[in-house]
Amino acid sequence: MPSVPPMSQVSQAINISELRALAKRRLPRMVFDYIDGGAEDEVTLRQSVDRFADYGWQWNSLVDSSQIDTSTTVLGERIAQPFFISPTAASRLFHPRKGELAVAAAAQKAGIAYSVSTLGSQTLEDIAAVAPDVPKFVQIYVWKDRGIVREFMARAKAAGYTGCILTVDATVAGLRERDPRNGFSIPPSINVKTATQAMGRPGYLFDMFTSAPIGPANFESVDTGGRDVMAVINELFDQTMCWKDLEWFVKEWGGPFAVKGLSTAADARRAVDSGASAVWVSNHGGRQIDTSVPVIDLLPEIRAAVGAGVEIIADGGVRRGAHVLKLLARGANSVALGRAYLYGLAAGGEAGVTRALDILATDVRRGLSLLGVPKVADLDGTLLRLCRP
């Protein structure tokens, strides 16, 4: 189909930006904008990427870099790279045939962890089957019905998921203005705008109509009343949750547990005091609160608050391996990827995700060699300087 970039183009992409361009060619505008867009004026979305350029490198000279170690630990599990797959909702929107299964298979090849979203479009069990040898984590939101959460956790444990991630920055959906402008919803509804856009991408349209309907695969028994995913967030998720409730989640899971979406040192410390084994500093990809502080600026104060022994995960704006390394140097133990791999997924399915991960892995290895830091675990802020406040 003409809207599908040849696999040779995907394999020859030299950076994430080129995969983004290929994804834009393949997807209808409404679907591409769902990946690409952010909240309100998209200030956070832009600054999350641009802020990396304000930090400049120094480097160690005359260091033996013949043996580079890029491995790290996330939620108690060893992974081959200092980055892993962040949970993203409804991945079959971007690759209707496989979605999350394509991403998990690529993670398996790369030897990195995979995190499944509560609102994933493939089941926990099917995802686990294609990535049996890498760590798998389950992400949860706070449903008003705790029985739903308890059952979901039990299924995840039975399927071999070893870590749990509670997202706390999405009690309501952010104002993502591209979506209503495009007439977009999850699952997609048919109207004049969406039909016109889809007709311009016949390859994607063919995949959509020849694949199973897209929806919250792990909650088929939950009555969503025909609402789209954003409405489900606003109507079925619990906006009354507080710190006492976090203790219930930690105890219910009974294993490695991360709290995702924290932005203050006080909240990070409180999460640890409530039983979390890791704090995840994130602005939700710029999709919730606009004009939020870039994550790279927050990391040192959060590290100081929780101490050296607490695991910190970071995400936000990562498009290059240098971005991964800068987040690590500022205090993170590992970095979660979102749009970077979704662009690859949309561009070429599993092969596209693999290409995205390969690009970043090569960047990281090259960067460590040039910095004179053979082990990623030894990277710290001494080689990083803020050039533009």
Which residues are known to be catalytic?
284
184 CB-near residues (< 8 Å, 6+ apart) = 30, 31, 33, 34, 178, 194
Give first-to-last CA distance, the chain, whole Å: 48
Contacts of 251 (CB under 8 A, 6+ apart): 275
Query: Per residue in 68-89, is it b (16+ CB within 10 Å) or e — as a string?
Result: eebebebbebebbbbbbbbbbb
Amino acid at 336: A
Q: Rounded to an integer, what distance in angstroms lies between the CA atom of residue 122 and that of residue 103?
A: 11
Containing H/E element for 57?
A: strand 55-57
13: left (phi over 0), alpha (psi -120 to 50) or beta: beta
Beta-bridge partner residues of 311? 278
